Structure 1
Amino acid sequence: MKDRNRHALPALWVLAAALASSPAAAQTDEASQAAPEASSDGGLGEIVVTATRRATNLQDTPVAVSALDANLIERSAPRDLGELAAFVPNFSAATVTNFNAASFAIRGVGQNSIIVYFEPPVAVLVDDFVVSSVQTQLLDTFDIEQVEVLRGPQGTLFGKNTTGGAVTVRTKRPDLDSVGVEGRVMYGSYGTTRIQAAANVPIIPGQLAFRGVVGYEYSDGYYKNGACYGPVVAFVPSKFAGAEGCGDNENVGGKDVWNARAKLLWEPSPAFSALLQYEWIRDTSESVPGVNESLPGQLFDVLGVGAATPPGGDPLDYAGISNRNDALLFMEKGHRISVDGAYLNMDLDVGLGTFTSVSGYRKQESRLPSTYPNQAPIADDGEILSLFDASRDDDRTTWQQELRFASNLSGPFDFVAGGFYQKEKIDFCVNQILGFQDLVSPPTPYGTWNQTPYILCNAQKSRSVAAFAEGTYNFTDQLTLTVGARYTWEHKRWYGRQQVFIPQLTGGAGGINETLDASVFNYSQGVLQIVDKANEPTYRASLGWQATDDVFLYGTYSRGFKAGAFNDQIGGFAPFGADEAAFREAASATRPEKADSYEIGIKSELLDRRLRFNLTGFWVDYSDLQKQIVVPIEVNGLPFQLTRFFNAASATVKGIEAEATAVPVDGLTLRAVLGYQDGKYNDYVTPIPAGYDLTTAPLDRLPKWQWTLDGTYEIPMGGLKMLLNGNVAYTARNLSTQSIAASSENTYLNARTLVNASITLSDVDDEYYVRVIGRNLTDKRYAIGSQVVGGLWANSQYGPPRFVGVEAGVRFGSR
């Protein structure tokens, strides 16, 4: 394991103690800004959402949207944004195999791949800025005011590549009138320590205020590096032949993450506000381990290096990682991710409406070394055999500008109109050490495979421009029609060369210090450029009817699209200088993916607002789906695989989504979520291998059933109160990766039922609290990422085992 900077922990405890001893005396009104679950009369409070780019009541908004406020987020104590998926129907959250990256799916579309040029069909926006990299979408949930999940294609107002839906996150704004402090300290299973703090300071009361937020999370990891191997079989002479053993059984997969936000809010008049933010993330968590699950007959099983968990064994005890630090891997440094972002949100009320500007710049650097087969290191005389180790490194810069106008015409018609611009540059390299080749084939011209880095680099410059407008006309106080359209211009330029050995770049004169030194912009020999363009209209129409004071009905049609994309793996396993025409054809981008969605819904509040029940039925037709296929290929007479993407599928997904919240008696709040979805391919014939029909295959990341039951009960105790919360969440089995070789090699995320609970003791004003947190109380083992790699191996990541922790917090301030 790498050094985990334990010296940082005492300083954090001192920070938390200092915050807790602040002389402020009364609670700020931040909590009141969140949508309340219960009103003062004992019924349910109003929930305000911004799904239509203006503040509206959830119950008369003709959009399938779920809102999760700060109160729900706090008491459910999620690790990250992905764990909130349990409270949203047909929203499935997992991770990309071998990475701490989000794999979100809604209504049959999601992203399972880490490919840097593929934008996920479920968009994530933080304060209206699009976070395009799945590597940083699993956000820390501290200091979040509200999360809204919009289900289905968002063809007008959130139209950038959202065929599945959008997750919009609104962080807490500075308070112009209150000095406030909020802090939490948590310690729990597998050495988990989390410290989070926020401070609010008015600089010019009523006009200018600052809010600073900082968080740190550390854990030892819940895997053991206990994978075993051998005796190793070699088909050519190898010093590793006959070796056998197991890993060192150390904890692996630990987290080490700092994050911070600095916010400055200026409101010189009621008509104008400007929110300036700076985002900072430094993630040096350990490389993500996993469990080898190779099947009999796969190459790694034949070689004796693909041992799976023994019968009856705990897969978490048999994870594997090589921890190799030479050959450009630097695995002791872990998965290093740094983010620096600056954002400016401005609103100007001109009487007839409000102009809104969203400007942002975000720079992300990722260095992600991994042991892909998840096997323990095989060593001889100090040399570690990397069966298939690789480091994926990328630098990404994103610029975004959105300008929109939301009218306030005081009549039957209002509209939202605007424009969107995003520019992005990505520089990518992957360094691979293919040591297993030394067991089956001769060495490279430059030495053994195990000591010769194999480098694949490419880059992309992209631009997205869109104009949009959506208008709402009230025929009567009860009947409303909304119609909108968006037109998007996408332009992408890809630069790439075929995979080469390091000596081919350096003339055999030496190595390269850092992988990105091999960028296509630094070594231009053999680099090609390919341009892809797409101009697409998308649109939405919705009819809403307030049938009674308590019942709202709506029907919506919407079209969304996801732009074509390049594959960062193109160029692998091809001779340097191979046929240019063939390379260009293989490297070409996919066509845009399209979705046509039809839905009807009912939103109701009954029993004097003690019961809220919302139900949606939907039907989505997807065309030109961008599907990931693992294509078997042969290199030097040996089986290999290459991940390819095609527009080879059309599909239909239909289902229902139900949400209910009830306050049957004062102090008790119950929530229930139910999602059902069923999908099938209408056409799925792959061009490579030609004519391979997968029409009867299951759709990936489409759990048929998902449900959650959640309850919170508040017990007054004089000057104190106790809050009891518990939930049970079920997600059905769903396909993770599709094998083109045999359906028996498909990998699945197994069905799971997770039980979580918390007990909170606080004062009546919520200024101080102590909370006991329990997650996965039945200690369920379940895959959160799984893949098959052609005829080579299969491997999986698993969700955390039982977790028990104690959290203490303070929240107070003064006006």
Structure 2
Amino acid sequence: MKNSRRLALPALWVLAAASMSNPALAQTPAEGEGLSPSEQNAQLQDAPEAEPAVSEAGLGEIVVTATRRATNLQDTPVAVSAIDQGLIEQASPRDIGDLAAFVPNFSAATVTNFNAASFAIRGVGQNSIIVYFEPPVAVLVDDFVVSSVQTQLLDTFDIAQVEVLRGPQGTLFGKNTTGGAVTVRTKRPDLDNIGVEARAMYGSFNTTRLQGAANIPIIPGQLAFRGVMGYEYSDGYYKNGACYGPVVAFVPTKFAGVEGCGDGENIGGKDVWNARAKLLWEPSSAFSALLQYEWIRDTSESVPGVNETRPGQLFDTLGVGAATPPGGDPLDFAGITNRNSNLLKMEKGHRISVDGLYLNMDLDVGAGTFTSVTGYRKQKSRLPSTYPNQAPVAADGEVLSLFDATRDDDRTTKQQELRFASDFGGPFNFVAGGFYQKEKIDFCVAQILGFQDLVSPPLPFATWNNAPYLLCNAQKSRSTAVFAEGNYKFTDQLTLTVGGRYTWEKKRWYGRQQTFIPALAGGFDPGLSIGEALDASVFNFPAGVIQVLDKANEPTYRASLGYQATDDLFVYATYSHGFKAGAFNDQIGSFAPFGNDLDAFALAASATDPEKADSYEVGFKSEFLDRRLRLNVTGFWVDYKDLQKQIVVPIEVNGLPFQLTRFFNAASATVKGIEAEATAVPVDGLTLRAVLGYQDGKYNDYVTPIPAGYDLSSAPLDRLPKWQWTVDGSYEIPFGDHKVTLNGNVAYTARNLSTQSISTASDNTYLNARTLVNASITLADIDDRYFVRAIGRNLTDKRYKIGSQVVGGLWANSQYGPPRFFGVEAGLRFMTE
């Protein structure tokens, strides 16, 4: 605690010195009011890609759409942060997860063993890859809800603005959440100008990134096309250097006594293509239609990690769980089997493909604007992994998969939203509409439990190392909602906002207990074979499949009171009630613990109840010193009820310890804290910014249906770093027709819980505290038509965990963030006038 407070002092000092920033779009003071959504989008699109400008009027206005209207951040009565193209360029993030450093109490990591987003806000977050789990932090791209955490770590090249709304959402934004929402707005086509934008970057680990965009007016002023494409490749920053052995076996096996190490090659590399094609039609100032096609093909290598098995765990006893040697660099001792047989296909990597089609339309009818958001998104994921991250144990040409598995799913999402935003010109206005989402997920996991061959006799028909153990289930879901929010200006200074949404959720789950391939049809056919895990889908083999229905009808609501105390000071108070829908668990049926009792299986497969949150906020937004200083502060208190806890539950299979991830509405909790952001431009060319987040939370109660080994209510909340701060500065030095921009930042995140066990507190895993230092130097022409940038990330070469878990009495493993990185980026942009 003392160290955390001491580390937070630099940010507190910066706050006191008024050297803080709220990174956002620079706008002229009068912009954003009384505009249709199409005009708002154009306004956001046309914002300069630079730091907030300083003029005689001071800092430019920040325009956000947190209320479904273009409003000035400084009189918007919600806790929202905005990040613009200028900051994104200078920070040179790998994806939107890196932008969390610029948002208070927003934590970004990855799900252990996956390149999947693990976002957390104010004490609730996602730390599981479970495909049916509803993330407490939603991600929306151009108003379409991206429901899969596997594709939420978006590339930032085509992004115009990111807004992070903290606290329960749902009244106005898509799916309901208890933590918050990340709304991403991509760049729109320009109707009048031909344009080209291109960037190329090369850096450490043979990292190569190529990005380009072209804008072509087809009918000037009415119809335009924008095409965007990007490619990223790297060798990976891990080394396949884990060692093992001599292997101990309790039964006769050819693997007994063998030992060795990995080949030391780089592993964990990236190989990703992505593209967007956009067609914007505006036949008049009253109507616009934006049609988009999204395309992603990700064939990155399977995610490696570091085995951190502890003394006494089974894999340590078997001699296959060697941890990093004392004093060794964990990145040099990662492990992966790269096994291709028995459905794994690991050398093909974590394969993800996305095809999406979206249509956003706005119609201004004078009294207001109708907006329609229509979307269809199809995602396929094939995710083979070596879960213990051990070295590839081999004997007689055969690789031993101690615990390898591939998690494969097909997901189809359809969405329709229709809303109306009034523009009456008087004291009262409102936004109202309806939302509909339909989704189908087909899921199978094929596990290879080769460690069983070291401790038990082989199966009657094969060894465990050559018999995929299949768990398949599926879900069809539908979410329907109506919503409305109105605001009334009692005076020019005092505004009341009240809104609500009512949601109908319906989910149907299909599941079958885990089984081997020969038993898929209900009998036992040794000749039965399949080509990939999803060939065993519950829809292809219905024998033993059960169905479980879940329904929930829930309200969300919000009330805000805003008061413009002076021209430079806005104060507000907000109360909001939100919920997150109940969820099924894709791991129910693992190890077939229910036998032939399908009723018990169906009961265990039941969905959780909705999770609920009541949030209270008070804050102020201010500007001083002729608008050269902007300081925004929010205090909050959130009460969570029926928290959906992902509990690591120990079980025993064939006399050996295992674990399952189970979902329970197990707890209630309270989280309170402070969030602060500001911008200061003390002299022309120098922009100082900082972000400070403090949050403190505790469980009020924590009870699970399964007896716990310790007092769970004493555990820390998941993904709740007590302190988070960032100090950032940019200095622009003009000379002639060129300029040099120096940018640097220091970002601190406190230690926080990654996964929790119910058996013993010693099995809890944590993401360690970290302080990361990044910098860039940019040489550009004065009009930003071309640039060369040197990039440095994690300059102190910090080792820090981004995912960690303990698997009962078997093993422990972690993923680590990238080490020190250096890169050079060059780019150009051309636009006709």
Q: Is the 8 A contact 2:786 2:827 kept in 1?
A: yes
Paired letter, 1:293: E
Distance 1:32 1:41 in 2: 19
Correspondences of 1:103-142 after superposition (within 5 Å):
103-142=118-157
Quick one: which of 418, 433, 437 aligns to 1:418?
Answer: 433
Name the counterpart of 1:546: 564
Q: Which moved more, 1:248-257 or 1:236-245?
A: 236-245
Aligned match for 1:292, one of 287, 291, 307: 307
Shift of 1:29: 11
Structure 1 CA distance, aligned partners of 2:534 and 2:214? 38
Task: Give the counterpart letter for 1:233 in structure 2.
Answer: V
- Point out the more displaced range, 44-53 or 159-168: 159-168
The match for 1:785 among 789, 800, 803 is 803
1:447 aligns with 462
Cα distance in 1 between the residues matched to 2:624 and 2:279: 41
The one-letter amino acid of 2:61's match is E
Match of 1:568 in 2: 586
- Structure 1 gap segments, 5+ residues each: 1-27
* Alpha-carbon distance between aligned partners in 2 of 1:706 and 1:489, rounded to the nearest angstrom: 37
SS of the aligned residue for 2:59 comes to coil
Q: Distance in 2 between matches of 1:446 and 1:474?
A: 75
Corresponding residue of 1:102: 117
Letter in 1 for 2:825: E
Distance 1:785 1:495 in 2: 30
Kindly state the Cα deviation for residue 85 of structure 1 after the two structures are TM-superposed.
0.1
User: For 2:627, what is the secondary structure of its paired residue?
Assistant: coil
Amino acid at match of 1:333: K
> Which of 183, 198, 207 is 2:222 aligned to?
207
Letter of the structure 2 residue corresponding to residue 323 of structure 1: N
The CA distance in 2 between the partners of 1:623 and 1:501, in whole Å, is: 40
The one-letter code sitting in structure 2 at the alignment partner of 1:768 is Y
Deviation string 1:597-634 (CA, Å, 9 cap, x unpaired) is 00101000111110000000000000000001111111
Which digits, 9 at most, give the CA deviation of each residue in 1:257-282, with x for residues without a partner?
A: 00000000000000000000000000
Aligned position for 1:183 = 198
> What CA distance in whole angstroms lies between the structure 1 residues aligned with 2:559 and 2:119?
26
Does residue 1:408 correspond to 2:423, yes or no? yes
Q: Report the Cα distance in structure 2 between the residues aligned to 1:371 and 1:60, rounded to whole angstroms.
A: 50
* Aligned match of 1:16: none
1:580 counterpart residue number = 598
1:715 matched residue in structure 2: 733
Aligned residues of 1:526 and 1:577 also touching (Cα < 8 A): no
C-alpha contact (below 8 Å) 2:195/2:216 kept by paired residues:
yes
Q: Report the alpha carbon displacement of residue 31 of structure 1 after superposing the two structures with TM.
A: 5.6
Which of 523, 537, 552 matches 2:555? Answer: 537
Aligned equivalents of 2:754, 2:202: Cα separation in 1 = 33
TM-score (norm 2): 0.93
* Paired AA for residue 330 in structure 1: K
Matched, 1:769 2:787: yes
Q: Distance in 2 between matches of 1:505 and 1:583?
A: 17
Alignment match of 2:533 (pick from 507, 510, 515): 515
**Equivalent residue of 1:695, what SS?**
helix
Q: Distance in 2 between matches of 1:511 and 1:293?
A: 36
Offset of residue 691 of structure 1 = 8.8
**Counterpart check, 1:645 vs 2:663:** yes
Partner Cα separation in structure 1 for residue 759 and residue 329 of structure 2: 29
Kept in 1: contact 2:576–2:614 (CA 8 A): yes
Aligned equivalent of 2:706: 688
- Could you tell which deviates more after superposition, 461-470 or 734-743? 734-743
- Mapped pair 1:379 → 2:394: yes
* Partner residue in 2 for 1:733: 751
Secondary structure in structure 2 of the residue aligned to 1:316: helix
Cα pair 1:211 1:262 within 8 Å, conserved: yes
For residues 179-215 of structure 1, give each alpha carbon's deviation from its aligned partner in whole angstroms, at most 9, with x where no partner exists. 0010000000000000000010100000000000000
- How far does residue 742 in structure 1 lie from its aligned partner after superposition? 1.6
Matched position secondary structure for 2:47: helix
Partner of 2:719: 701
* Cα shift at 1:717: 1.2
CA–CA distance in structure 1, aligned partners of residues 678 and 313 of structure 2? 47
Equivalent pair of 1:219/1:256 in contact (CA under 8 Å): yes
User: Counterpart of 1:390 in 2: which secondary structure?
Assistant: strand
Task: Decide which of 659, 670, 674 is 2:688's aligned counterpart.
Answer: 670
Matched, 1:192 2:207: yes
Aligned to 1:15: none
Where does residue 3 of structure 2 map in the other structure? none
CA–CA distance in structure 2, aligned partners of residues 35 and 682 of structure 1: 46
The alpha carbon displacement at 1:550 in A equals: 0.4
Which SS does the other structure have where 1:398 is aligned?
strand
Q: 1:370 aligns with which of 370, 380, 385?
A: 385
1:68 to 74, 78, 83: 83
Query: Residues of 2 paired with 1:58 and 1:130: CA distance?
Result: 23
Q: Which residue of 1 aligns with 2:411?
A: 396
Residue 5 of structure 1 corresponds to which residue in structure 2? none
**TM-score scaled by structure 1?**
0.96
Counterparts of 2:622 and 2:333 in 1: how far apart (Å)?
50
Which of 291, 313, 316 aligns to 1:301? It is 316
User: Which residue pairs with 1:754 in the alignment?
Assistant: 772
**Preserved CA contact (<8 Å) 1:155 1:558:** no
Q: Which runs of 5+ in 2 are unaligned?
A: 1-42
Write the distance in 1 (CA, Å) between the matches of 2:780 and 2:504. 53
1:22-49 deviation per Cα after TM superposition (whole angstroms, max 9, x unaligned): xxxxxx9966366961243372111100
Matched residue, 2:328: 313
Does 2:500 correspond to 1:485? Answer: yes
5 Å-filtered alignment, 1:17-36, equals 32=47
Q: 2:252 is paired with a residue of what secondary structure?
A: coil
Distance in 1 separating the partners of 2:199 and 2:331: 29
Higher mean displacement: 758-767 or 682-691: 682-691
Tell me the SS of whatever aligns to 1:435: coil
Pick the aligned partner of 2:372 from 349, 352, 357: 357
**Which residue of structure 2 aligns with residue 502 of structure 1?**
517
What SS does the corresponding residue of 1:238 show, helix, strand or coil? coil
**Partner Cα distance (2:248, 2:351) in 1:** 35
Secondary structure in structure 2 of the residue aligned to 1:456:
strand
Whole-Å Cα distance in 2 between the matches of residues 305 and 194 of structure 1?
37
2: CA distance between counterparts of 1:754 and 1:42?
35
Q: Are 1:35 and 1:46, in contact at CA under 8 Å, matched by a contact in 2?
A: no
Counterparts in 2 of 1:698 and 1:64: CA distance versus 1, 3 Å: same
